[in-house]
């Protein structure tokens, strides 16, 4: 009986796990350089946390289950709601703004395909407590700089859900979200049919005009013609800041995001190649959630990277770490262990034999794993306080004092 992994999940062997760790490390370091600090929340939460306002898609895809006491729980499909729940429960009196980042696995019952899994990882940030354009600016710049540092080839599109909200202010919540969802899915035929069937056909033209606007800041003037009483100053200030910081972006008023809780600026980044249809690698925006979880109404901005999609296209390789095998002749095993312990100061991979193999087999294993050096602990040399240091790449060896070994390897590696 062979047990396979569940559909939509993956195993990561060391090469891939290390590569992913290297990418994660870049994300962490840059987020920390902006003052963001890591938070960690439970893998499962009460189901209601995700059904209050996450939108139809997420609810449809949720991994929900009852525990043995009948509690309705769910594996987290994303981390914004959990972080805001944590904020309301634990952090609401902390000085604002709060800058949090997370790196964690998420679960969605999706149709698995390239770039779409049932267990996947998100790296994201939440900047809590400000509704200034400066907060949006910081979060967008952070996302942008991480993607640049990872050498990703991407485009960044920025919109503002406030525009459609304003345009549709007389439409009730339920219809508003239906309309937004169809715009998110780019289902324009469905949208037309829906508006007609609900007696909302009067909105069709202005919606279509608005969501077709894409480009530089000049489209703000066009949008103003469609929605004259919307205050564009936040968006204009943001654009000014982005230009000042030389961020390459497009305005795109069709971005509404799949989740229902966004209220202001929204943005998405797309990989230009390598991912096919699943090419959205980042989504974010400003939102209000905390009042839904029993807190006061605190404005926040955040984003989440689709870590697996980024890992798929990111070409950075983690620094290779050399291996050293400390081999031993019969009876010298524990001496080899002692020497190996000392060599572990080098921050390399220091291995010893655990198979009770003879020396020849130990050395052939060292070769098979691509070890750079073998230290051979043999009785004769050891009696003189020495070991054999073999350079497996050059095929040369020297007899060296045990006391000099660490220094020598440090110089060589």
Residues lying near ligand ATP in the complex (CB under 6 A) are found at: 78, 108, 110, 115-117, 120, 122, 258, 278, 280-283, 304, 306, 308-309
CA pseudo-torsion sign 308, 313, 319, 323:
positive
CA 192 to chain centre: 36
In angstroms, the CA 314 to CA 211 distance is 31
Nearer residue to ligand ATP within complex by CB, 82 or 283: 283
Minimum CB separation from ligand ATP for residue 270, in Å? 9
Minimum CB separation from ligand ATP for residue 62, in Å? 12
Minimum CB separation from ligand ATP for residue 117, in Å? 4
Minimum CB separation from ligand ATP for residue 258, in Å? 4
Minimum CB separation from ligand ATP for residue 128, in Å? 18
Strand locations in 307-402, DSSP E? 323-328, 349-352, 373-377, 386-391, 396-401
Minimum CB separation from ligand ATP for residue 57, in Å? 6
Nearer residue to ligand ATP within complex by CB, 76 or 335: 76
Minimum CB separation from ligand ATP for residue 273, in Å? 15
Q: What are phi and psi of 365, to 5 degrees?
A: -65, -45
In degrees to the nearest 10, what's the CA dihedral of 375, 379, 381, 383?
A: 130
In angstroms, the CA 212 to CA 205 distance is 11
In angstroms, the CA 413 to CA 411 distance is 6
Nearer residue to ligand ATP within complex by CB, 100 or 382: 100
Closest-approach residue to ligand ATP (CB) = 306
Nearer residue to ligand ATP within complex by CB, 285 or 332: 285
Closest CA to 111 of 76, 65, 61, 64: 61
Nearer residue to ligand ATP within complex by CB, 115 or 129: 115
CA pseudo-torsion sign 223, 229, 233, 234:
negative
Nearer residue to ligand ATP within complex by CB, 124 or 162: 124
Nearer residue to ligand ATP within complex by CB, 110 or 333: 110
- DSSP H helices, 150-278, are 161-167, 173-184, 188-197, 204-211, 218-226, 233-244
């Amino acid at each position: 009986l062979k047990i396979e992994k569940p559909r939509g999940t993956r195993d990561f062997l060391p090469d891939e796990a290390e590569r992913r760790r290297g990418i994660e490390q870049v994300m962490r370091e840059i987020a920390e350089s902006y003052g963001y600090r890591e938070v960690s929340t439970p893998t499962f939460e009460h189901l209601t946390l995700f059904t209050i306002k996450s939108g139809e898609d997420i609810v449809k895809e949720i991994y929900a289950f009852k525990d043995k006491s009948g509690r309705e729980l769910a594996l987290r499909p994303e981390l914004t709601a959990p972080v805001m729940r944590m904020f309301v429960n634990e952090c609401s009196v902390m000085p604002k703004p709060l800058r949090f980042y997370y790196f964690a696995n998420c679960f969605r019952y999706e149709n698995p395909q390239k770039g779409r899994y049932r267990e996947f990882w998100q790296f994201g940030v939440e900047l809590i407590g400000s509704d200034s354009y400066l907060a949006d600016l910081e979060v967008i710049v952070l996302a942008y700089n991480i993607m640049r540092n990872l050498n990703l080839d991407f485009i960044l599109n920025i919109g503002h859900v406030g525009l459609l909200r304003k345009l549709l202010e007389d439409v009730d919540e339920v219809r508003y979200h239906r309309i937004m969802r169809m715009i998110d899915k780019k289902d324009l035929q469905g949208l037309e049919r829906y508006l007609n069937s609900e007696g909302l056909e009067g909105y069709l033209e202005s919606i279509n005009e608005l969501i077709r606007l894409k480009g530089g800041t000049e489209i703000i003037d066009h949008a103003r013609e469609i929605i004259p009483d919307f205050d564009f100053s936040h968006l204009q200030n943001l654009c000014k800041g982005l230009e000042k910081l030389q961020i390459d972006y497009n305005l795109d008023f069709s971005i509404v995001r799949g989740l229902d809780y966004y209220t202001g600026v929204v943005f998405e980044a797309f990989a230009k190649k390598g991912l096919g249809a699943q090419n959205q690698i980042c989504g974010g925006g400003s939102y209000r959630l905390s009042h839904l979880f029993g807190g006061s109404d605190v404005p926040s901005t955040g984003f989440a990277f689709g870590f697996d999609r980024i890992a798929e296209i990111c070409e950075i390789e983690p620094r290779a770490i050399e291996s050293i095998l400390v081999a031993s002749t019969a009876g010298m095993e524990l001496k080899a262990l002692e020497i190996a312990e000392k060599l572990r100061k080098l921050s390399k991979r220091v291995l010893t034999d655990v198979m009770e193999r003879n020396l020849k087999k130990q050395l052939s294993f060292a070769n098979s794993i691509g070890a750079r050096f073998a230290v051979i602990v043999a009785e004769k040399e050891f009696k003189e306080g020495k070991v054999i240091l073999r350079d497996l790449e050059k095929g040369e060896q020297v007899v060296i004092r045990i006391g000099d070994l660490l220094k020598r390897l440090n110089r060589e590696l």
